[in-house]
Structure 1
């Protein structure tokens, strides 16, 4: 079986050479196609499957060694293609689970919104009843209601939660790209990151310049990552890594917009 795979890969590589199509992306697709054709015959995680992948990568190195040039990118592409083929079913299961998680998250968000509406209604009712009280009691009630409605702690918790979810989605995108995830899977994680990022994004017009600039940089990098995936660029892993670094840097600045202070200079 392994020998058949090697022969198929070598034949496809030779054809690509003859037609002038031996590019990195083509190497990845050749290996992925060859391994995908037989991966179903092996048990997941088995030694035989690992040998199959090893032989597939070996076929590429043996075929390209004659070029006498650096073939690191081609070897990397062959490994990526093999991993994507081997883990295709697992990534499909992950995608389905993620869809269920999103559905559950939407239900949670809906229930939380209902709670917020109920609380707002109760507080409004309490505030209305204060009109019948003495001015001293009325002031106390209104002050208490306003303190609950304008809780900085609650707002901060919501912001922190959204920030963590945005970072987590970017981490998942990095992991999916690194371990053979499909482009659609990575794109879905980026879309999820954008959603949580926008939820955590300060809306105040008074946003200080430094924080505003960092948000702009993250916007740009999110766009670059999405574009790189759409164009199937082989540098997508580095783009995603840069995106994660940018997100981490942005979210380290704690509440600079809320308190109107510049972030502390880190030495």
Structure 2
């Protein structure tokens, strides 16, 4: 025969507390599950694309009209005839003469972003564009600098090429790099500059996963929002073709289409 002492039997009060604890645990579990699938709103957008698409409106027009944004390598990038050979497979040569190129990448207002003209020269144009487009996306969203400062806003940006760095090394008058150009070409520093300029306190991550870089940046931003690590997130990527070096390398591997598309 089993015997149960009075002290081991549940009392109405203990049962009530246990039920309350179970309800709290269930509520937390439901909240966690809901957070993993909670919709995320895109509240602002800024962009630069080939074909003269300098904002979301012109980009949408380009898509709507089916405009071909691919063009021949601009003369201010490199001497096409010096590096082009249609046969392909030749060292130091490209077998394509077309691609997607953004206009006016040399135009930048350093004072607006509190950058000295000297430092701006050493700043990779990819970093300049990230600063500009980030600001434009915030304007598009109607988010003010005062609202962002000291906020838990995360920054997730993809940069996967270093054409400007190779140009600086190639053409710098005395060789090497000075302090300003070294900082201006660091990928992680370029993304960190966004958080510094805006006064953000959320995560700041620069990543490179090749062709998927921008998509992965958005994926990580969504994870950060759903885990409540960030209250707001800035996500995107940039890629400028400034030097023939990367194009030559890809042509050696037969990675590119001959018509640039």
Q: What is the TM-score with the length of structure 2 in the denominator?
A: 0.28
Q: Which has the higher strand share?
A: 2
Q: Which has the higher helix share?
A: 1
The structure, 1 or 2, with the larger RCO (C-alpha pairs under 8 Å, 6+ apart) is 2
Q: What is the TM-score with the length of structure 1 in the denominator?
A: 0.27
